[in-house]
Amino acid sequence: MVDAYIGLGSNLADPLSQLAGALARLAALPRTHLVAQSPFYASRPVGPQDQPDFVNGAVHLQTELAPLELLDALQSIEQAHQRERIQRWGPRTLDLDLLIYGTQTINNDRLTVPHVELVNRDFVLQPLLDLSPNLQLPDGRRVADLRQQCVDNGLRRLHPVPGSLASSGGDD
């Protein structure tokens, strides 16, 4: 089993419902166990500003799926949520990113892990920190250190969604 961290995001069609649906699908992936879910956060969009704020979070999975198998599964979940890839950094019903896959560094035409923008996104770093305060990237950089250096994108923690894994961990 490999520890994998997945970033979740949505800013269309009831983002909290989109993320709740994605969590259910992630929990049902074959040869995979959903270990933990971070709280959700709202933040301003990166890129075009003429779109709604995003809701983001992350999950920790333990999986036997190979990286590209996991990527295919994530893209299948996005498609089930009517994801359309029209504009870079544009609005979307669901975005699932493979952020970290064990201690592997992957760089091919389909997948870059750790995710290329991870170090620049507070809405990715903070949920990862919530899941694992001592998490490190494969190159040894600590997520906590990266979070301290990251530009603020107006991150706001949201209250837990009833029935989610995060709702059992308390509130603000």
To the query of whether residue 92 is one of the catalytic residues in this protein, the response is yes
Distance of CA 112 to the CA centre of its chain: 14
17 φψ region: left (φ > 0), alpha (ψ -120 to 50), beta (else):
alpha
Strands (E), 49-169: 54-63, 95-101, 106-107, 112-113, 156-157
Q: Which one of the listed residues 97, 121, 122, 130 is annotated catalytic?
A: 97
To the query of whether residue 95 is one of the catalytic residues in this protein, the response is yes
Rg of the chain on CA atoms, in Å? 15
- CA dist 90 and 52 (Å) reads 10
17: Cβ contacts below 8 Å, ≥ 6 apart: none
31 φψ region: left (φ > 0), alpha (ψ -120 to 50), beta (else):
left
Q: Which one of the listed residues 44, 53, 83, 142 is annotated catalytic?
A: 83
55: Cβ contacts below 8 Å, ≥ 6 apart: 9, 10, 11, 15, 16, 19, 40, 41, 42, 158
Q: Which one of the listed residues 95, 121, 122, 130 is annotated catalytic?
A: 95
Three-state DSSP class for residue 13 = coil
Q: Annotated catalytic sites, by residue?
A: 83, 92, 95, 97
